[in-house]
Amino acid sequence: MESIFPALYILAAAGFILAIKWMNSPLTARRGVFVGEIGMLLAVVGTLLRHEVVNYEWILIAFFIGTAIGVPIAYLMPMTAVPQRTAFSHACGALAAALIGTAEYFRHTPHGFAMGALVVETLLGFLTFTASLMACGKLQEILPTRPITYKGQNFVNLGIFGLAAVIGAALVASPESTWLFPIFAILSLVFGVLLIVPIGGADMPTVIALLNSYAGLSASAMGFVLDNKLLIVAGALDGSSGFILAVIMCRAMNRSFSNVLFGAFGTIQTSTKKTVERPVRSASPEEAAEILDAARTVLVIPGYGMAVAQAQHKLREMFDVLSRRGVDVRFAIHPVAGRMPGHMNVLLAEADVPYDKLFEMDEINSEFPRADVALVIGANDVVNPAAKTDKNSPIAGMPILNAHEARTVMVIKRSMNPGFAGIDNDLYYMEKTLMLFGDAKSFVSNIVKELNTALAPAR
Amino acid sequence: MSSYEVAIWVFMLAAFLGFELIRRVSPLLHTPLMSLTNAISAIAVVGAILITGEKEASTLTRTLGFIAVVASTTNVVSGYLITDRMLKMFKKRNTEPRLSGSGMHQ
């Protein structure tokens, strides 16, 4: 009977691997979730049946509470809040790893290699816990979303991290010094908070991916402590997933990876260049509707502003009307648009935009010169041509969507305030650019109204 | 080989496997991917169960284990359910259900 448990764990690991493999296509992705669920079920059953586990009542109560929290989160959370939910679940995962590490320390006080793994587990666990809660708070806008920086910040942060690492090393050298453990835990918790303080909203995609990686690595380290291969595999999969996503996000912002690892992100200096009042052309919904209706190809570039204004459903109506009138409408999605990797895709999919109309940057960038209209909605820095032309720009070298190459550019924007990086966007002042001032949702809905009523029903 | 050596081998191979698998995931699905891997890393529930269910667990370790089971169960449940909820929304329009998608459970 005992020999069946390793088999269950191996099957569970296979399930997790297949789950991720099947995520490579929307056609197989739900099957992936299903095998992932089976894998988790096998792992839990395999663990509950182990002879060491004798007390079930607390476990069952905890299952019940966890389910009671998890189900409403999964079904009631609006899709715009997915980044917060993700950050929150990183916090839960990291907390679990950290607490298990702590319990294991007071239970067995491991030595040598296992103690080293335990220190890594708890360090990553505690710091990811508070860092993720901070990220969640910033995303939910309970905490200020602007980066908060002060002089010597990196020094303080690295100092605290260094101190935690030294105490961790001391714990590995003499695991019996139990008094060191609470200090170690508190320093890790504090470091997690400080890590996120200087992070601004636009950097959240990288940070969330990185926290994802840390949470996974923490679970993997737990596998080393408990000598459990399933934990090692599942944690390593999660760790590498978060790591790759963080790298992709970094590349999409042309930031070095070390920049992220040392937590120095969000410290983009705001350009000191004085913004001179320059003339812009603006247009009304009627004019915008006419131009869109006359276009053959329209490329829509959504950004976080679309999510804030909840404009995705109106945008889909516009997509429907224009498609019916023979206009080819596609969506161009920058990797860092939104607050987490893939954020825009989920919002547009929720609004029923078919996913074969959503294109990533590399696929669509060559299409802009042929496009009649590039419609920018709630995006800013990701379409700023300064990234290509101005070497001194804070976003120099960042890959952008080439909206400026389209025949006409339309930008829906509340006002002329510069975006996150505080950089003026030359795109707005181009001859062919029309600024559509207003709330994204109501502006798009006015365009739809125009298309439906004022214009001739068919071409 | 010591068991730690084996463990490090396992970790290395799993990490490289992860890299290869995740590089193939389309950016279209990066959000559901992240919530799926997050649910998978809630495998920490295994460690939490072992600590909570142990015979001679002290009040301290049982309490810590209990919180850990709650936290990771929350992750398992909300992670898988919300991933599936997101994936259900990804549809191609104006196309008949494709045969290659027949393996999907609806």
Lowest mean pLDDT among A31-45, A60-74, A294-308, A412-426: A412-426
Interface contact A93, partner B, CB < 8 A: yes
Q: Per-residue pLDDT for A169 more than 70?
A: yes
Q: Note the pLDDT of residue A275.
A: 53
Distance from CA of B27 to the nearest CA of A (A): 6
How does pLDDT run across A208-228, given as a tens digit for each residue? Answer: 999 999 999 999 999 999 999
Which of A226, A237, A340, A365 best tests the B interface by mutation, with the highest count of B CBs <10 A? A237
CB-based contact A274:A312 (threshold 8 Å): no
Q: Which residues pair with A410 in a beta bridge?
A: A375, A434
Nearest C-alpha in A relative to B54: A53
| pLDDT band for position A354 (cuts 50, 70, 90) | very high
Q: Note the pLDDT of residue A417.
A: 67
With an 8 Å Cβ cutoff, are B40 and A16 in contact?
yes
Mean pLDDT score, A269-293: 76
Q: For residues A64 and A437, give the distance between their C-alpha atoms in angstroms, rounded to a whole number.
A: 50
Q: Which residues contact A41 (CB under 8 A, 6 or more apart)?
A: none
pLDDT above 90 coverage of chain A, percent: 70
Nearest to A271 by CA among A163, A394, A416, A356: A394
| pLDDT band for position A257 (cuts 50, 70, 90) | low
Beta-carbon pairs below 8 A across chains A and B:
388
The minimal CB distance from B22 to the residues A36, A86, A241 is found for A241
The chain-wide mean pLDDT, for chain A, equals 89
Interface contact A352, partner B, CB < 8 A: yes
Lowest mean pLDDT among A251-260, A315-324, A353-362: A251-260
The minimal CB distance from A100 to the residues B25, B68, B83 is found for B68
Q: Note the pLDDT of residue A270.
A: 46
Given CA atoms A117, A118, A120, A121 in this order, what sign does their dihedral have? Answer: positive
Q: Which residues of A136-155 are buried (b: 16+ CB within 10 A; e: fewer)?
A: bbbbeeebebebeeeeebee
- Please state which CATH class domain A285-452 belongs to: alpha beta
* Residues in chain B, total: 106
Nearest C-alpha in B relative to A112: B4
Residue with the bigger pLDDT between A170 and B91: it is A170
Interface contact A210, partner B, CB < 8 A: no
| pLDDT band for position A426 (cuts 50, 70, 90) | confident
Q: Per-residue pLDDT for A357 more than 60?
A: yes
Q: Per-residue pLDDT for A13 more than 80?
A: yes
Lowest mean pLDDT among A97-106, A254-263, A290-299, B53-62: A254-263
Q: Per-residue pLDDT for B100 more than 70?
A: no
Told to judge if A203 belongs to the known catalytic residues of this protein, a careful annotator would answer no
| pLDDT band for position A5 (cuts 50, 70, 90) | confident
Q: Per-residue pLDDT for A325 more than 70?
A: yes
Residue with the bigger pLDDT between A44 and A276: it is A44
Note the ipTM here.
0.89
How does pLDDT run across A195-204, given as a tens digit for each residue? Answer: 888 887 778 8
Q: For residues B21 and A21, give the distance between their C-alpha atoms in angstroms, rounded to a whole number.
A: 6
Mean pLDDT score, B64-81: 96
Q: Per-residue pLDDT for B103 more than 70?
A: no
Cβ contacts of A74 on chain B, cutoff 8 Å: 77-82, 85
Nearest to A371 by CA among A317, A295, A444, A428: A295
Which of A104, A241, A347 best tests the B interface by mutation, with the highest count of B CBs <10 A? A241
Q: Is B54 helix (H, G, I), strand (E, B) or coil?
A: strand
The minimal CB distance from B30 to the residues A26, A226, A342 is found for A342
Side-chain-side CA neighbours of residue A409 (13 Å): 29
Query: Catalytic pick from A381, A390, A426, A439?
Result: A381
Q: Per-residue pLDDT for B21 more than 80?
A: yes
Q: Note the pLDDT of residue A129.
A: 97
The chain-wide mean pLDDT, for chain B, equals 86
CATH 3.40.50.1220 residue window(s) in chain A: 285-452
Within 218-237 of A, beta carbons closer than 8 Å to B belong to 219-220, 222-224, 226-237
Lowest mean pLDDT among A5-14, A251-260, B1-10, B17-26: A251-260
| pLDDT band for position A253 (cuts 50, 70, 90) | confident
How does pLDDT run across A133-153, given as a tens digit for each residue? Answer: 999 999 998 988 777 777 788
Mean pLDDT score, A417-434: 78
Nearest C-alpha in B relative to A359: B28
**pTM attached to this predicted model:** 0.89
With an 8 Å Cβ cutoff, are A341 and B55 in contact?
no
Q: For residues A318 and A173, give the distance between their C-alpha atoms in angstroms, rounded to a whole number.
A: 65
With an 8 Å Cβ cutoff, are A36 and B78 in contact?
no
Nearest to A139 by CA among A307, A346, A303, A349: A307
Within 36-65 of A, beta carbons closer than 8 Å to B belong to 36-37, 39-40, 43-44, 47-48, 50, 52-56, 58-59, 61-63, 65
